[in-house]
């Protein structure tokens, strides 16, 4: 639970401070399957890319130390709200 809260705070702060933000090495649950070592890219407060082979925009703020952090659709929907 703490890691999810920390992730939400990290992303919200990063999204407000930078045009593009990427979080890497998360365990993504898309509602159907678990995707290990996924990357989520946000740009101007919106999710722009999700997956294991995602290009991170040049100049994006990147958080790579997200190993063992779970990201779910509900978590991403909350971050977008």
Angular region, 59: left φ>0, alpha ψ -120 to 50, beta rest: left
Query: What's the domain range around 64?
Result: 2-80
pLDDT at residue 1 tops 50:
no
* CATH number for 13: 2.30.40.10
pLDDT (mean) for 1-15: 51
Q: Give the model's pLDDT for residue 33.
A: 87
Based on the number of CB atoms within 10 Å of its own CB, is 48 exposed (0-12), middle (13-18) or buried (19 or more)?
middle
The whole model's pTM is what?
Answer: 0.67
Tell me the pLDDT tens digit for each residue of 27-54: 888 778 889 999 989 888 788 898 999 9
The answer to whether 75 touches 7, Cβ cutoff 8 Å, is yes
Q: How many domains does the chain have?
A: 1
């Amino acid at each position: 639970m703490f890691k999810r809260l920390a992730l939400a705070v990290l992303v919200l702060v990063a999204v407000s401070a930078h045009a593009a933000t990427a979080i890497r090495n998360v365990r993504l649950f898309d509602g159907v399957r678990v995707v290990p070592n996924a990357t989520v890219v946000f740009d101007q407060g919106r999710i722009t890319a999700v997956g294991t082979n995602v290009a991170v925009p040049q100049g994006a703020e990147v958080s790579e130390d997200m190993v063992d952090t779970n990201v779910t659709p509900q978590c991403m929907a909350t971050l977008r709200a």
